Amino acid sequence: MKRNPYRKILLATDGSENSKSAACSGLEIARCTGAEVYAVYVAGISCCSPIMPESYDWEIGKEGSEAVAEIEELGKKINVKVNPVLLQGYPAQELLEFAEKNDIDMIVMGTQGKTGIDRFLLGGVTEKVIRNSKAEVLVVRSPCP
């Protein structure tokens, strides 16, 4: 009997259309494999400096909650349960640490949707995750069907 290679999938989201497109692909893989899914939003440290007003931290938390809630809704449409996770720190580092601590088999992320010559470059967070992840990383560019 062949072991399912994807038991736990991390869907990295920043609330962008690009990350939602990536989540669609990850959710479809989870639907086919029965994998457990985590939608992870990381509020960057530069956003949450101690000198920032408390209302700004609340706004960042609200943005993260909305981002993971959208992924939860996408999962409900295809009967895939999504576990929401909100973290604070350096995004690539937090994603990698969460993946390692939770035995994640696959990380699914989007690229940055840039134009011009930059369209050939990955976002900084995505590139750091690809270079340092022990889990497989799926980078998705295409829009959600």
| DSSP E strand stretches across the chain | 8-12, 36-44, 82-89, 106-110, 136-140
Q: What is the pLDDT of residues 89-129, one digit of tens each?
A: 999 999 999 999 999 999 999 986 333 334 444 578 889 99
Average model confidence (pLDDT) across the chain: 85
What pLDDT is recorded for position 20? 93
pTM > 0.75:
yes
Q: Where are the domains of the chain?
A: 8-140
Question: What is the amino acid identity at position 69?
Answer: A
Percentage of the chain beyond pLDDT 90 is 62
- Architecture of the domain whose range is 8-140: 3-Layer(aba) Sandwich (3.40)
Q: How far is CA 7 from CA 30, 60, 98, 107, 143, in A?
A: 8, 30, 15, 12, 25
Cβ-Cβ contacts under 8 Å for 103 (sequence gap 6 or more): 7, 8
Q: What is the mean pLDDT of residues 26-50?
A: 86
